[in-house]
Amino acid sequence: MTTESKLNSPEMEEFYNDLAGMNMDALWHHNFPSQTAAEKSAPYQPCRWLWKDIEPMIWRAGDLVQPGPESHRRVIQLKNPGLAPMPGATHTLVLALQLVYPGEVAPSHRHTPTAIRFMLKGKTVTMVDGEPITMNPGDLVLTPNWTWHGHTNETNEPAIWIDNLDVPIVGALKAGIHEDFPEGLDPSTKMPDESFRRFGSGHLRPIKSKKAELISPLHSYPWEQTHQALHELASVEADAFDDVALEYTNPTTGGHVLPTLACQIQMIRPGVHTKAHKHSSSAVFHVYKGSGHVIVDGVKIAWKEGDFFSLPPWCNHEFVNDSNSEELVLYSSTDQPVFEALGLWHELAYEKNGGHQEVVATYEERYG
């Protein structure tokens, strides 16, 4: 028995109108999302920021504003124009640079967004819930959600570091809460670098410590250890998409450092050109050492030491070290833990042409 479809009938129109009048709707009234993983494409553009453009702005900020009453933090955000007016470098990740001059204090506060710091220049102490943590270049420091934190610089040199935050994720959940500490830095209640003293070996855990903590109880990851681990790994294996890559881990689980953010350090060895893939997570990258380029959906994005780059979700991307003698070291932070926790993580290798994309434009040609 066949019946005539009423989909485009006047009765259906009337039905839709009546539903709308009662704050209801019919599922079939709208297109059902029907993209396969292969069809998924980037929802907004990638973006690159050059250190030669960023650095003068940091010094200008240094002349214009002081941390404390004038501004919580002296921070310059790297904003992806594809997301305007949102503040993120990707739809989930805020990427910023912070400057603290000798003698300055960025007073303590706590908030539900989480931050990861990657130190670039100079030396500071960041207080994390009463634990004074020294940050030297290449060190990674966690200020987990709701921990009191503030920064001081007791040296003679300005200090600059990268801030990665999950502000857009917390914002989407309407979970933003912020509290200022009454005055200055919260007092030191722990040994300097205490969390490192407990957990810093990575593979030896104090016997009475809790297993499987949601948030890493280790708050600092010194560069010396990171650098050595990269070279040890390079002597035995490399990944097709990321070459020699290590994730910073929560020592109680071996998993991501934080529930919303993960971070990694990777070395693209001299002359290496990785294969391309795409995935549901987005990421922000910093060239810590060396130079090279990344190919994102056929666009060649050249970068040198100090430059930054944001990778939207679902872009095919592959890394190239242009040098045959110098290593290319990339620091990155991603929202991957959120996707994994929700069972939403998908990854797809680029199959054509041996896994390498054809370059169709440079970043300058495509994005000006």
Binding footprint of ligand GTQ on the chain (CB under 6 A): 72-73, 75, 96, 98, 115, 149, 163, 165
**Residue 72 Cβ vs ligand GTQ, minimum distance, rounded to whole Å:** 6
Q: Which residue is nearest to ligand GTQ (CB)?
A: 163
**Residue 109 Cβ vs ligand GTQ, minimum distance, rounded to whole Å:** 6
Closest CB to ligand GTQ among residues 48, 73: 73
**Residue 111 Cβ vs ligand GTQ, minimum distance, rounded to whole Å:** 6
Closest CB to ligand GTQ among residues 149, 286: 149
Closest CB to ligand GTQ among residues 115, 258: 115
The dihedral through the CA atoms of 254, 257, 263, 267 has a sign that is negative
Closest CB to ligand GTQ among residues 42, 96: 96
**Residue 279 Cβ vs ligand GTQ, minimum distance, rounded to whole Å:** 26
Closest CB to ligand GTQ among residues 48, 149: 149
**Residue 361 Cβ vs ligand GTQ, minimum distance, rounded to whole Å:** 32
CA distance 290 to 284: 17
Closest CB to ligand GTQ among residues 148, 314: 148
**Residue 97 Cβ vs ligand GTQ, minimum distance, rounded to whole Å:** 8
110 forms beta bridges with 179
